[in-house]
Structure 1
């Protein structure tokens, strides 16, 4: 499955996720957010740089937190994955609220 397929899958889940208060990753970690907080143009580029292969949300969840935290710390403005997601959520809410 390509990253575009993953985005389509996440978009298909969009309404259920947004209704439950969760926003799809493609909306949170969009190109603008990634360019602002890292040297990457996309979340997919960020994952590939860390040698992570995650084509679905489930695969992303299987990446050990310590590995993802280390990559986030080295390659973004954030200290860890949780902080990055929190900022992405805050930015999304500010721009779409």
Structure 2
């Protein structure tokens, strides 16, 4: 059975990982090679970005893209139906890595 000190250390470690996971995450960090390979017909994240029917050079570029275009790209190449569904799944996987 864990002692109080071990439990306290465990809680500190978990809080540190939660703090790390709660910051802003770039799209390229969320949609990394492992996620892309697991959930799409692409082998690498770079393929996803290179073949996209839109430009993702900046946040401004991203904001200008119609959601229907993003959703269509996701539906055509991923196991998800919408962009938001894909991003939610990527976020969950990203955060889960901190707690392994």
TM-score (norm 1): 0.70
* Per-residue deviation, 1:51: 2.4
| Pair member with larger Rg | 2
Q: CA deviation at 1:62?
A: 1.4
- 1:5-39 Cα offsets, whole Å, 9 max, x none, are xxxxxxxxxxxxx7874312121110110000112
Local SS of the residue matching 1:47: helix
Structure 2 runs not aligned, ≥5 long: 1-19
The structure with higher relative contact order (CA 8 Å, sep 6+) is: 2
* Separation in structure 2 between the aligned mates of residue 41 and residue 19 of structure 1, nearest angstrom: 25
How many residues end up aligned between the 2 structures? 80
Task: Please give the per-residue CA displacement for 1:18-72, whole angstroms capped at 9, x wherever unaligned.
Answer: 7874312121110110000112133342233232222112212211100000110
Structure 2 length-normalised TM: 0.68
Alignment of 1:42-53 (within 5 A): 42-53=44-55
